[in-house]
């Protein structure tokens, strides 16, 4: 159990107009912080006014990228209460990421306590306009004040929160995606299954090139053979091919998404054939050409479900489902957002209420 001290800010900010939210531009009044050292373990847990963080110029994170993060949301229900969606899944993934990056893990119950104490305090920042939520960003970084390369001995854990609208400017409208056959996001044996900052830095060049050509994001291929589909942008990806729902198997270079897991559970529960398997670019191209690719979508916390309306491979553009959102994609969006915003009954036990 953490002993969390609380220092309230002197001048709370005005809550933003929901139409100005965007994604991750506005932050709440406070943040959670805790320090770790080899000698003391986790200590100095505190909620303090939101402010810049001061770092030693030799701090590990600035040189060797020892950083991991999570992303989850607090949702305002129609009855005014605030709830989280599967927070223990994020906590477990955060510890798996920490293990991969040689950063300290935090006991699950302590991380949950930190998250709940912080969200309880900031819950008034959870917007209520349709499609809006309070995005929670826990992150953890190595903070040794030395240039030696080794496992981290000192670290800082922080949680910040940002009221958000939709992630893509397109919202739930289909996006155009370019298949990337040069850069790769991650490799098996590397850090693809961990949510570490370096994976995103490595992704940016391809994302920028795609944007210059008018695409929202790239579809990643595996790093060894550039043959198997992995993810789309910073989301997991799913396809409906000839009636079968196919999503790439978690081979180590793919982030095990909580939205992905939830989509699979919903679809399997409704009797769909869902396969987590290898899907080659050859099989996908064939399905694009012979019209058996019925739907494609990305899934992740930020956008929930994002339909893919066009795939471009080696300069050839293929519309998917006539550029429109498909019925399975729409159904998943409605089901997940319905549960998240408390509009439909949560028969799965995924929601986690916050005390008022």
Residues lying near ligand COI in the complex (CB under 6 A) are found at: 71, 234-235, 300-302
Q: Inter-axis angle of helices 87-101 and 258-269, to 10 degrees?
A: 130
Nearest to ligand PLP of 80, 189 (CB atom): 189
- Total binding residues toward ligand PLP, as defined by CB under 6 A: 12
Residue 184 engages ligand PLP in binding (rule: CB under 6 A): no
153 forms beta bridges with none
- Token pair listed for 198: 């370096």
Nearest to ligand PLP of 35, 346 (CB atom): 346
CA distance 305 to 280: 22
Nearest to ligand PLP of 320, 336 (CB atom): 336
What is the tally of helices (H) and strands (E) in the chain? 7, 18
- Smallest separation, CB 29 to ligand PLP (Å): 25
Longest dimension (CA), the chain: 63
Residue of 95, 156, 236, 335 interacting with ligand PLP (CB under 6 A): 236
Residue of 259, 335, 337, 340 interacting with ligand PLP (CB under 6 A): 259
Residue 235 engages ligand PLP in binding (rule: CB under 6 A): yes
Stretch that binds ligand PLP, among 19-27, 32-40, 256-264, 313-321 (CB under 6 A): 256-264
Residue of 154, 166, 191, 301 interacting with ligand PLP (CB under 6 A): 301
At 119, give phi and psi (nearest 5°).
-70, -35
- Smallest separation, CB 184 to ligand PLP (Å): 13
Among ligand COI, ligand PLP, none, residue 30 binds (CB under 5-8 Å by kind): none
CA distance 104 to 320: 44
- Smallest separation, CB 229 to ligand PLP (Å): 13
Nearest to ligand COI of 223, 257 (CB atom): 257
Residue of 71, 107, 131, 198 interacting with ligand PLP (CB under 6 A): 71
Q: What is the residue whose two structure tokens read 């950063």?
A: 103
CB 346 within 8 A of CB 336: no
At 110, give phi and psi (nearest 5°).
-75, -40
Stretch that binds ligand PLP, among 175-183, 228-236, 322-330, 338-346 (CB under 6 A): 228-236
Distances (CA, A) of 87 to 46, 196, 266, 349: 20, 18, 18, 12
Residue 340 engages ligand PLP in binding (rule: CB under 6 A): no
Residue 234 engages ligand PLP in binding (rule: CB under 6 A): yes
CB proximity list for 142: less than 8 A, separation 6 or greater: 59, 60, 61, 64, 66, 67, 101, 103, 152, 154, 155
Stretch that binds ligand PLP, among 30-38, 113-121, 169-177, 255-263 (CB under 6 A): 255-263
SS3 label, residue 245: strand
At 305, give phi and psi (nearest 5°).
-135, 130
Could you tell me if residue 349 is left (phi over 0), alpha (psi between -120 and 50 degrees) or otherwise beta? Answer: left
Q: Which residues in this chain contact ligand PLP in the complex, by CB under 6 A?
A: 71, 231, 234-236, 255, 257-260, 300-301
């Amino acid at each position: 159990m953490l002993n969390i001290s609380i220092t309230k800010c002197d001048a709370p900010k005005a809550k933003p107009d929901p139409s100005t939210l965007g994604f991750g531009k506005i932050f709440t009044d406070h943040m959670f912080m805790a320090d770790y050292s080899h000698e003391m373990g986790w200590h100095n847990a505190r909620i303090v006014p939101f402010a810049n963080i001061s770092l030693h110029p030799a701090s590990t994170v600035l040189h060797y990228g020892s950083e991991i993060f999570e992303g989850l949301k607090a949702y305002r229900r129609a009855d005014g209460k605030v709830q989280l969606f599967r927070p223990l899944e994020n906590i477990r993934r955060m510890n798996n990421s920490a293990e991969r990056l040689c950063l300290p893990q935090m006991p699950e119950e302590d991380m949950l306590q930190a998250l709940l104490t912080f969200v309880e305090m900031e819950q008034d920042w959870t917007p209520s306009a349709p499609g809006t939520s309070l995005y929670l960003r826990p992150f953890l970084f190595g903070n040794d004040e030395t240039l030696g390369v080794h496992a981290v001995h000192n670290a800082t854990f922080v949680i910040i929160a940002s009221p958000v609208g939709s992630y893509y400017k397109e919202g739930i409208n289909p996006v155009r995606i370019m298949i990337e056959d040069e850069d790769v996001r991650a490799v098996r044996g590397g850090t693809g299954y961990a949510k570490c900052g370096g994976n995103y830095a490595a992704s940016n060049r391809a994302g920028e090139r795609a944007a210059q050509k008018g695409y929202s994001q790239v579809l990643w291929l595996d790093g060894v053979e550039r043959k198997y589909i992995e993810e789309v942008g910073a989301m997991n990806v799913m396809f409906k091919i000839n009636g079968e729902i196919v999503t790439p198997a978690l081979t180590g270079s793919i982030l095990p998404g909580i939205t992905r897991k939830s989509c699979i559970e919903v679809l399997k529960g409704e009797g769909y054939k869902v396969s987590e398997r290898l899907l080659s670019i050859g099989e996908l191209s064939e399905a694009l050409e012979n019209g058996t690719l019925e739907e494609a979508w990305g899934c992740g916390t930020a956008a929930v479900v994002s339909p893919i309306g066009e795939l471009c491979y080696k300069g050839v553009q293929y519309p998917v489902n006539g550029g429109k959102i498909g019925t399975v994609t729409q159904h998943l969006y409605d089901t997940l957002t319905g549960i998240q915003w408390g509009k439909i009954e949560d028969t799965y036990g995924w929601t986690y209420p916050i005390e008022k």
